[in-house]
Amino acid sequence: MEKGKGLVDLCIEAATACSESVDIWRRQRRTLERLPFQLADDLFRRLHSRRLLSPSILEIFQFCVNEVDLRGESCVDAEWMVYLSAFRYLHSLNIADCKNVNNFALWHLSGTYSFDGVLTQLEHLDLWGSEISNVGAATFEKFPMLRILNIAWTKVTRMPILSIACLNMSNCTIHSIVDGDNTATATLSKLIVTGAAFIDADQVLSILQLDCLKFLDISCSNIGSFNFLVNLRNLEHLNLRYSQITDGLMEQVASAGEKLRYLNLSNTKITSHALSVLVGCVPNLENISLSHTLVDDTSLLYISMASSLQLVDLSNTRIRGFVDSGRENSDKMLSLSALQNLTNLKSLNLEDTKVMDEALQPLSLLTELECLYLKSDFLTEISLHAIASLQKLRFLGFRGAVLTDYGLLSYRPPPLLCVFDLRGCWLLSANAISSFCKKYQQVQVRHAHVNNPFEDEIVSYGTSASFITTKVPMSRPRTVKSSNTSFVDERMKYSTEELLQLESSTGFSFMLKDLDLLPEILRK
């Protein structure tokens, strides 16, 4: 027997080896109808992956399959819907991005042309990107158990009366989410309208009964008024990324903050003043993203007052790590020291900020930190050794820094470190990285000198995964303007003699208090 495969796996392998194998067992209809759901689902998936499914074969699975995933299949059309409509115990159907699924096909799926009650067990229906409109949406009422519905990137503008828990209408033009009695939305707990164009957003959202709503994603939408947030007392997840939220509209967000755990304000025009409005209004906030906003170091004081925070994303902001004390001839205060109040903080992102070595000193006291993202050409190995005391780190990003071979080889990573991202550290040699990898084999190093097939993946641990959806939502390709960004070789900053001096440098075992000992080359 092949190692790692059980008898059931081998049977499925043999049954789906080729079309001739399928023809042998497909005649045993009664036996197939008695297949356990889990086994039937596995067999169905294997047939699909090997391109052996056809409408005629669908018929033998109508009494034994729970889940069907045919996303992206251009061959799926009305004929397939006729057979799928007979799946008596079907709970989940994914026909997203099937270009031939239209209103006509959906009417066949709903059993409109038959006398039997079909798909009475269907709970999850994904029609993302299909060619349906309001005419097809009218058939949703035929599915009494429907709880999760995805009609993103369709032509649906109005929804019939449905008692569903999760609705995705992203990138739709929305006239009404419920066309009729608004009490039908009392069960709605998750609403996603990313990139949607509302005809009258305030009217559409204000008339909904959203007492149960816990998850709201209105990112990239054209919503300009947020008065409807006042009624969302049970909201836990709010995504306002790329929205029109401003400092003056933050009071509406604060009114819905009592139970809020996740707040994404990235790529908006808010400043640090917006966070002052949230003080005392978000006692349960765990994750906040302020990436690509106008917040500066004064925001850290307000952030530190949200004691439940576990993840903070401040990448691409105006954070410098210093604030002026307000007195003449006085030293600047280290603003990151305010984060010491966040005793539950597990993930901190400071990529593409203006922080320098000295400003990172307070991070050594964030003892619960598991993920730290740093990316700046202002940082040197002084910072790397300063954060060596963070024993719970599992991910450390130290990208684009001025890090020498000696600095890397003298660094002792914490025992739990899994990923060490050194991309952009151009001074490092292949030999030094190879030596480090051999010495600490449990650490996955990311650098141009390391052949890593997972280099482009986003890695996060612990609560930081909250900002990364477990299932990447599909999105239609959009026209992207060519970037004018030019990539500059960092070595151009230095002369040949200075580069040679850096590469052979062995004098970086400095204490943080001895910042003045930093070579003149690195203080440019």
Q: What is the mean pLDDT of residues 108-131?
A: 84
Compute the distance between CA of residue 292 and CA of residue 98 in angstroms, rounded to an integer. 35
The Cα–Cα gap between 167 and 231 comes to 19
Span 484-513, average pLDDT: 51
| 189 and 166 Cβ atoms separated by less than 8 Å | yes
Instruction: Give yes or no for a contact between 303 and 288, defined as CB atoms under 8 angstroms apart.
Output: yes
Alpha helices in 156-270 (DSSP H): 201-206, 250-255
| Least confident among 18-27, 174-183, 258-267, 315-324 | 18-27
User: Higher confidence at residue 281 or residue 458?
Assistant: 281
**Residues sharing a CB contact under 8 Å with residue 443, sequence separation 6 or more, in sequence order:** 413, 417, 418, 419, 420, 436, 437
Residue 453 has pLDDT above 50, yes or no: yes
Q: How confident is the model at residue 514 (pLDDT cuts 50, 70, 90)?
A: very low
User: Tell me, what's the pLDDT at 498?
Assistant: 62
Residues 396 and 422: beta-carbon distance below 8 Å: no
Between 366 and 329, where is the model more confident?
366
Q: d(Cα 157, Cα 139) in Å, to the nearest integer? A: 14
With bands split at pLDDT 50, 70 and 90, how would you rate the model's confidence at 30? Answer: low
Q: Which region among 75-84, 171-180, 437-446, 461-470 has the lowest average model confidence (pLDDT)? A: 461-470
Degrees, nearest 5: CA angle 152-158-161 = 105
Burial (CB < 10 A; 0-12, 13-18, 19+), residue 191, is buried
Q: Look at residues 193, 172, 53, 71 and name the one whose alpha carbon lies nearest to residue 127.
A: 71
- How far apart CA 174 and CA 374 sit, in angstroms, is 40
Which backbone phi and psi does 119 adopt, to 5 degrees?
50, 40
Residue 520 has pLDDT above 70, yes or no: no
Quick check: helix, strand or coil at residue 469?
A: coil
33 vs 496, more confident: 33
Give the ranges where 67-191 is alpha helix by DSSP (H).
78-84, 103-109, 134-137
Q: Which helix (H) or strand (E) holds 289?
A: strand 287-289
| pLDDT at residue 23, as a whole number | 65
Q: Examine the pLDDT at 267 and tell me if it is beyond 90.
A: yes
Average pLDDT of the segment spanning 441-468:
66
The residue with greater pLDDT, 24 or 386, is 386
Average pLDDT over residues 475-483: 45
Asked if residue 306 lies in contact with residue 284, where contact means CB atoms within 8 angstroms, the answer is: no
Average pLDDT for residues 472-484, to the nearest whole number? 45
The answer to whether 257 and 281 are in contact (CB under 8 A) is: yes
Q: What does the block give as tokens for 411?
A: 């660094």
Query: For residue range 38-73, what is the model confidence (pLDDT) as tens digits?
Result: 888 888 898 888 888 889 888 888 888 999 999 999
CA dihedral 471, 473, 477, 480 (to 10 degrees): -90
Crossing angle for the helix pair 37-49 and 7-15, to the nearest 10 degrees? 40
Question: Cα(384)–Cα(98) distance, rounded to whole angstroms?
Answer: 50
Instruction: Tell me the pLDDT band of 36, cut-offs 50, 70 and 90.
Output: confident
For residues 350 and 354, give the distance between their C-alpha atoms in angstroms, rounded to a whole number: 9
Domain residue extents for the chain: 166-285
pLDDT at position 144 over 70: yes
| Helices and strands of the chain, counted as H and E runs | 16, 20
What sections of 64-129 are H helices per DSSP? 78-84, 103-109
484 pLDDT more than 60: no
Q: What pLDDT, on the 0 to 100 scale, is given for residue 389?
A: 93
Return the percentage of the chain with pLDDT > 90, whole number.
61
Show Cβ contacts of residue 436 under 8 Å, excluding neighbours closer than 6 positions: 408, 409, 443, 445
Instruction: Give residue-wise pLDDT tens across range 207-228.
Output: 777 778 999 999 999 999 999 9
Percent residues over pLDDT 70 in the chain:
76
Which residues fall within 8 angstroms of residue 476, CB to CB, at 6 or more apart? 129, 153, 171
Burial environment of residue 265 by CB neighbours within 10 A (0 to 12, 13 to 18, 19 or more)? buried
Q: State the pLDDT at residue 157.
A: 95
Report the alpha-carbon distance of residue 296 to residue 311 in Å, rounded: 18
Residue 28 banded pLDDT, cuts 50, 70, 90 = low
The top-level CATH class assigned to 166-285 is alpha beta
Measured distance CA(162)–CA(88) in Å, rounded: 21
Cα radius of gyration rounded to whole Å, the chain:
28
With tokens 């392998």, the residue in question is 13
Strands 347-349 and 333-334: unpaired
pLDDT level of residue 458 (50, 70, 90 thresholds): very low
Going by C-alpha positions, the residue among 348, 331, 325, 335 that lies closest to residue 302 is: 335
- Phi/psi of residue 2, each to 5°? -65, 130
Q: What is the pTM of this model?
A: 0.83
**177-181, 271-275, 379-383, 504-508, range with the lowest pLDDT:** 504-508
**Who has greater pLDDT, 469 or 4?**
4
Do 151 and 132 form a contact (C-beta atoms < 8 A)?
yes
Residue type, 89: Y
What's the mean pLDDT when you consider all of the chain? Answer: 84
User: What mean pLDDT is predicted for residues 366-387?
Assistant: 95
**What does the pLDDT look like over 392-451, one tens digit per residue?**
999 999 999 999 999 999 999 999 999 999 999 999 999 999 999 999 999 999 999 998
Please state, in angstroms and rounded to a whole number, the distance separating the CA atoms of residues 368 and 372.
11
